[in-house]
């Protein structure tokens, strides 16, 4: 991933989305409006540099009357979306270097596990990385926000805590399924 600067991680998805959009006779702005994202986000999807979050992927798949699996063209859409979300979180905190570091962490985790992690293990790892990124973003916000914006920081802290609880619940549900 990080070794090839020309690597387009979601190229097949991007081509498929562009073809679906054009076949439907839609502009990027129209598709963005249906999905609740900016036209520039649709551009990134079609370039294959980003993949949508679950809620956006579901809206797209519903609109085009296909499954999320068929839309994304991957074996485990939940895993791909979780990894993309973790990478986006890290990018929002530390830019491209943070995203590249997280990609390296994914590779190192696989190496430490003997070369391969199961999809469930990768999903759990992605969720943990997302949680870590959200908590790091919150700590940065608390540390560097002006005192007069304290109420905004506190409101964000509540949202972060709720998101972390949701991630923890998802991990518990995921890992309890493994033990059965």
Predicted confidence (pLDDT) at residue 180 exceeds the cutoff of 50:
no
Contacts 24+ apart (CB under 8 A), 117-126: 119/75, 119/76, 119/79, 120/174, 120/177, 120/178, 122/79, 122/83, 123/76, 123/78, 123/79, 123/82, 123/174, 124/171, 124/174, 124/175, 126/79, 126/82, 126/83, 126/85, 126/86
Predicted confidence (pLDDT) at residue 149 exceeds the cutoff of 50:
yes
pLDDT value at residue 18: 95
Which of 7-11, 20-24, 65-69 comes out lowest in average pLDDT?
Answer: 7-11
* 11-72 maps to CATH 3.55.40.20: no
pTM above 0.75, yes or no: no
Predicted confidence (pLDDT) at residue 116 exceeds the cutoff of 80:
no
Q: Where are the domains of the chain?
A: 11-72, 77-179
Which of 19-23, 113-117, 137-141 comes out lowest in average pLDDT?
Answer: 113-117
């Amino acid at each position: 991933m990080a070794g090839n600067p020309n690597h387009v991680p979601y190229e097949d998805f991007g081509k498929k989305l562009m073809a679906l959009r054009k076949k439907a006779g839609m502009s990027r702005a129209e598709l963005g409006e249906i999905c609740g994202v900016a036209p520039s986000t649709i551009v990134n999807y079609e370039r294959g540099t980003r993949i949508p979050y679950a809620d956006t992927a579901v809206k797209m798949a519903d609109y085009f009357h296909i499954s999320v699996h068929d839309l994304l063209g991957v074996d485990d859409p939940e895993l791909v979306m979780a990894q993309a979300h973790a990478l986006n979180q890290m990018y929002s905190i530390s830019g491209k270097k943070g995203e590249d570091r997280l990609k390296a962490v994914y590779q190192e985790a696989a190496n430490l596990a003997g070369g391969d992690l199961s999809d469930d293990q990768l999903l759990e790892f992605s969720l943990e990385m997302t949680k870590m990124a959200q908590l790091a973003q919150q700590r940065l916000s608390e540390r560097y926000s002006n005192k007069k914006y304290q109420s905004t920081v506190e409101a964000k802290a509540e949202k972060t805590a709720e998101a972390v609880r949701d991630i923890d619940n998802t991990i518990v549900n995921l890992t309890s399924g493994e033990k059965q």
